[in-house]
Amino acid sequence: AQSVTQPDIHITVSEGASLELRCNYSYGATPYLFWYVQSPGQGLQLLLKYFSGDTLVQGIKGFEAEFKRSQSSFNLRKPSVHWSDAAEYFCAVGAARNYGGSQGNLIFGKGTKLSVKP
């Protein structure tokens, strides 16, 4: 079955430092991959998505992610973190029928909570 793993439950970085949030997926074909951010009291907002082409994807708020097929990874990065980036981040993969999923459905990771130190 498809799955998404976010190994880090909670990460703390200093403001201005670089950030990398890890995401690994299990999938046999080219996956559709997404990163979402959730601020406290709000719904999930799409940061970026990948489904083909350039493996380095740019998103909103200065985020980017790199798809690495050999490592089954889709890590999220930001060169300089701002205090307003403190939130929870979710990686997701589009479900595939041949893996028992329903088209249009997303498989979410458990999330990584980001704290930013001043």
Partner 1 sequence: DAGVIQSPRHEVTEMGQEVTLRCKPISGHNSLFWYRQTMMRGLELLIYFNNNVPIDDSGMPEDRFSAKMPNASFSTLKIQPSEPRDSAVYFCASSSGQNNQPQHFGDGTRLSIL
Positions touching partner 1 (CB under 8 A) are 32, 34, 36, 41-46, 49, 51-52, 90, 94-96, 102-106, 108, 110-111
- Name the minimum Å distance from CB 19 to partner 1: 21
Percent of residues in the chain assigned helix, strand, coil, to nearest 5: 10, 50, 40
- Name the minimum Å distance from CB 52 to partner 1: 8
Angle, CA of 112, 114 and 118, to the nearest 5°? 170
**Closer CB to partner 1, residue 28 or residue 41?**
41
71: its two tokens: 């490592």
- Name the minimum Å distance from CB 80 to partner 1: 25
**Closer CB to partner 1, residue 91 or residue 116?**
91
Angle, CA of 106, 76 and 86, to the nearest 5°? 95
Q: Enumerate residues 6+ apart whose C-beta is below 8 A from 100.
A: 1, 2
Report the distance separating Cα 106 and Cα 73, nearest Å. Answer: 16
- Name the minimum Å distance from CB 54 to partner 1: 15
**Closer CB to partner 1, residue 33 or residue 116?**
33
**Closer CB to partner 1, residue 2 or residue 78?**
2
